[in-house]
Amino acid sequence: MALIGLMAACVQAQSWVKKDKAPEKSKGWLESFELAKKEASAFKQPIFAFFTGSDWCGWCMKLRSEALDTKEFEKFAADNLILFEADFPRNKKISGTVKKQNAELAAKYGVRGYPTVYLLDAEGSVLGKTGYQEGGAEAYVKHLKDLLEKAGVKTVEKPAAGKTLSAYEKMKAEKAPKAQQTGDKK
């Protein structure tokens, strides 16, 4: 009896641990818009909705190679965005469910050409719209930061590995979360 009681207590303790564990953000690009909205809500981050023709659209491929597939963009996205891709391939197979979802989203947001990028909140409301931008990853990340700032969304900047923060940057980084938690608008 004692052994059964101990086992039951262990199982219950494990379920508490699982419930208390913070959710993990998906890594990479999501193809489920519902999952993207859930993660945007959970992590308080906007959705980067990339409407693309991955296997035929030259400008889409150019945006991917010059910006989206770079370490700089990936780092910015990991800290600030939920990545969602609505693909409209010609040769690559996608499921009927995803194909239907993507067509409905393209109609809802009025996508007329590719690449089209929408920055969306957790409810799917538009915060900004863009597409291909010249200048590579650094310019594209700056462009996204500007769009998000105009929409009232603050971005996070974590230092690169090995980079040290200045005293001002440390102070700013330490005070920002405290101000958000207490509601202080300093």
Is 16 contained in some domain? no
Half-sphere exposure of 22 (CA within 13 A, CB side): 5
Q: Is residue 131 located within the same domain as residue 169?
A: no
Q: Does residue 96 sit in the same domain as residue 34? A: yes
Task: Output DSSP code: residue 65.
Answer: I
3-state secondary structure of 59: helix
142 found inside a domain: yes
What pLDDT shows up at residue 26? 79
- Any domain includes 29: yes
Note the pLDDT of residue 105.
Answer: 98
Claim to verify: residue 51 and residue 29 sit in the same structural domain: yes
Statement to judge: residues 168 and 132 lie in one domain: no
The pLDDT tens digits for 136-163 are 999 999 999 999 999 999 999 876 555 5
Token couple for 63: 């945006």
Residues 123 and 168 in one domain: no
- CATH number at 95 reads 3.40.30.10
Query: Taking all residues of the chain, what is their mean pLDDT, rounded to a whole number?
Result: 83
**3-class SS at 160?**
coil
Residue 7 falls within a domain, yes or no?
no
Question: Which CA distances in Å does 48 have to 6, 86, 117, 153, 185?
Answer: 47, 10, 7, 13, 27
Within a domain: residue 181?
yes
Q: How wide is the angle at C-alpha 146 spanned by C-alphas 124 and 25, nearest 5°?
A: 50
Instruction: Tell me whether residue 173 is exposed, middle or buried, using C-beta atoms within 10 angstroms of its C-beta: 0 to 12, 13 to 18, 19 or more.
Output: middle
First vs last C-alpha separation in the chain: 59
**122: domain range?**
23-154
Give this prediction's pTM: 0.75
pLDDT of residue 66: 98
Q: Strands (DSSP E) along the chain, which ranges?
A: 47-52, 82-87, 116-120, 126-130
Check residue 13 and give its pLDDT: 46
**Percentage of the chain modeled with pLDDT above 70:** 72
Looking at the structure, tell me whether residues 110 and 142 fall in a common domain.
Answer: yes
* Domain co-membership, 108 together with 161: no
Looking at the fold, whether 129 and 111 belong to one and the same domain comes out as: yes
Split into its structural domains, the chain has a count of 2
**Average pLDDT of the segment spanning 73-89:** 98
